[in-house]
Structure 1
Amino acid sequence: MSMSDDMRAHLSGGITTLCRCWALTRKDGVQLGFTDHDGDLSFEGIVFRADTGLTALALQQGTGLSVDNTEAMGALSDASISEADIAVGRYDGAEVRCWLVNWAIVAMRVLQFRGTIGELRRSGGAFEAELLGLTDLLNRPQGRVFQKPCSAVLGDGSCRMDLDAPGYRTEAVVTRVDGTRIGLDGVAGFDSGWFQRGVLEALGGAAAGLRGVIKADVVGVDGREITLWSGLGADLALGDTVRLTAGCDKRMETCRFKFDNLLNFQGFPDIPGNDWTVAVPASATATGGSRR
């Protein structure tokens, strides 16, 4: 935490005009501002609203690699944070910044906390969010896993596959919705099963920005039908546009023939299986120590 001389003098003056402001940035780019002051404030291009009822518990900060954390609580409302948006995961992993601000002179402020939203709970028209500091990233597992299937996520920095290349992504129009089964129109030139294990992303409507993993991809007499492993959390409507991304089953053959990306394959296809690792020397005849 870096503090200016003006802010330090204000804090030591005995009478202060302080409040806290939070900026929340979701992964889809939506940015919200909140403050516990009794009036709206604005800085860094963000309007911090005072009518949200958002409050925070004591901030825990430490030296070294200990994880900074706090919790924020607030009321659910359609104007700011809605229960529907929480339910579909729009706030999962959102970035949070917290300032201590002199509300009389907003330029006099200090950034106290920066991190992400962890566990988020909701009940009775209110929510409670766990806020995790930047050092929480050090708790994530690192390193390679020795296994036959590829350990990369299709299109990530290890895979390096360009999914925007022709043949791996396409847009379609929803023609039928039956739970997790979705009928599509406008998907031509792709074999049945091409998008299995891939991703469906809604581009418009109530589910815009939400993604689901594809369980099955079948081309039948009535057109193409996609089945998701679970619902998107918001309803798709007839006429909504979705984007389909090809799926990968992590096998070397798929990497080579479907994606032509064998040089970046992150698995170990020749690693011995479990049967080999537990095998012991054996002989069909008795071993009495002689040459025979």
Structure 2
Amino acid sequence: MSAVNCVALCWRIERRDGVAIGLTTHDRDLEVDGLIHRAAPGMTPSAIERSGGLDADTMDVRGGLSSAAIDEADLLAGRWDGARVTLFAADWDTGVVIAGLGEGRIGAVEVGEAGFTAELAGASGDLARPVVEDTSAECRAELGDRRCRVALGTRRRFARVLGVEGQEVTLDTAEPVAGAYAGGTLRWFGGANAGLTQAVDGSAGMRVMLRAPPAFAVVAGALVELVEGCDKSFATCHARFGNAANFRGEPHLPGIDLLTRYPGG
């Protein structure tokens, strides 16, 4: 049988939490590079746009929400956001990869009555990022990253959930200082939300206010990990973290309001 007659499209999808699945348009499961690619005939790619210049490579993948690995709830909850996707052609008779067709990360996801559409952006899309940063009064680093250098080991804490009401979560442990978790994150362990990380808008005592309600129902006693946040001001960086030397902003640089000042104003 010729290689042309044995071609099947395959996807390898690797989520940020380490979960990897394989899908194929063939009518039976295939094993490629040690990973079972489940038959998903409803999965179809759009035309792949690749460029020899600096334009970003793009592609859409459409499919029905019938796979046990990908369902509407997980898509809307964000489990697949930023997942790395590799598309290739394989010989369904031998399992040998014939050609790589593209790769990227899942961007915008739309869910409709007929299934879902996921937009993939290639690596060349990174070239669209600004070459240099704009000046700002606030810090442009993220707390704990390689530029900030604040050690987060002692600023991560585990707690149990006592109750959830909308976006407000009540914990069994109070925050170490006022507003400690504002701008930080809450990660769920166990239960339907396991593995999901949510942004924290504010905190007070034993309560934290999430930016959005939990995607799934929460059972009392669920374990969560809280990571402190930062309001990115120079005062907080200096007083609370003692990290003024690594502040990535220009708090004393005159702003545009300087041009509007006038004598006696």
What is the deviation of 1:278?
Answer: 2.8
Candidates 49, 52, 56, aligned match of 1:67: 56
Where 1:182 maps in the other structure, the secondary structure is strand
Residue type matched to 1:203 in 2? F
Alpha-carbon distance between aligned partners in 2 of 1:226 and 1:265, rounded to the nearest angstrom? 26
Contact 1:211-1:232 at 8 Å conserved across structures:
no
Which residue number corresponds to residue 177 of structure 1?
A: 164
How far is 1:48 from its partner?
0.6
Separation in 1 of the partners of 2:171 and 2:235? 28
2:148 alignment partner, one of 147, 159, 179? 159
Q: Radius of gyration: which is bigger?
A: 1
Q: Which string of whole-angstrom CA distances, capped at 9 and with x for unpartnered residues, describes residues 91-116 of structure 1?
A: 11111101111112222422121111
Q: Alpha carbons of 1:39 and 1:228: their partners in 2 closer, same or farther (altered >3 Å)?
A: same
2:208 alignment partner in structure 1: 226
Equivalent residues in 2 for 1:16-165, closer than 5 Å = 16-51=5-40, 53-77=42-66, 79-164=68-153
Moved over 6 A (4+): none
Instruction: State the match for 1:289 in structure 2.
Output: none
Between 51-60 and 64-73, the greater mean CA deviation after superposition: 51-60
Residue pairs, 1:266-281, within 5 angstroms:
266-279=248-261
Offset from partner CA, 1:203-238 (integer Å, 9 cap, x none): 22111122222222122xxxx111112213223221
Residue 82 of structure 1 and its aligned partner are, at CA, apart by 0.6
* Structure 2: segments with no counterpart, 5+ residues: none
TM-score for both structures, normalised by structure 1: 0.84
Distance in 2 separating the partners of 1:73 and 1:185: 43
Once residues 67 and 43 of structure 2 are traced to their aligned partners in structure 1, the CA distance between those partners, rounded to angstroms, is: 14
Q: How much has 1:242 moved relative to structure 2?
A: 0.7
Distance 1:19 1:238 in 2: 47
Contact 2:32–2:97 under 8 Å retained in 1: no
Q: Answer yes or no: is the 8 Å Cα contact 1:145–1:151 preserved in 2.
A: no
Alpha carbons of structure 1 residues 51 and 20: separation in structure 2 relative to 1, 3 Å: closer
Give distance in 2, aligned partners of 1:108 and 1:175: 51
Letter in 1 for 2:14: T
- Code of the residue aligned with 1:212 in structure 2: it is Q
Contact 1:147 1:267 survives alignment (8 Å): yes
Q: 1: distance between equivalents of 2:235 and 2:201?
A: 20
CA distance in 2, matches of 1:108, 1:126: 28
Letter of the aligned partner of 2:196 in structure 1? L
d(CA) in 2 for partners of 1:108 and 1:213? Answer: 40
Q: Give the fraction of aligned pairs with identical amino acids, expressed as a percent.
A: 34
Counterpart for residue 243 of structure 1: 225
Which ranges in structure 1 are unaligned for 5 or more consecutive residues? 1-9, 284-292
Aligned residues: 263
TM-score computed with the length of structure 2 as normaliser: 0.92
Partner secondary structure for residue 16 of structure 1: helix
Q: Tell me how far apart the structure 1 counterparts of residues 216 and 97 of structure 2 sit (CA, whole Å).
A: 42
Tell me the C-alpha RMSD between the 2 structures.
2.0
Task: Pick the aligned partner of 1:262 from 244, 247, 259.
Answer: 244
What is the Cα deviation at residue 78 of structure 1? 5.8
The structure-2 alpha-carbon separation of the partners of 1:202 and 1:52, relative to structure 1 and needing over 3 Å to count, comes to farther
Please state whether the residue corresponding to 1:49 is helix, strand or coil.
strand
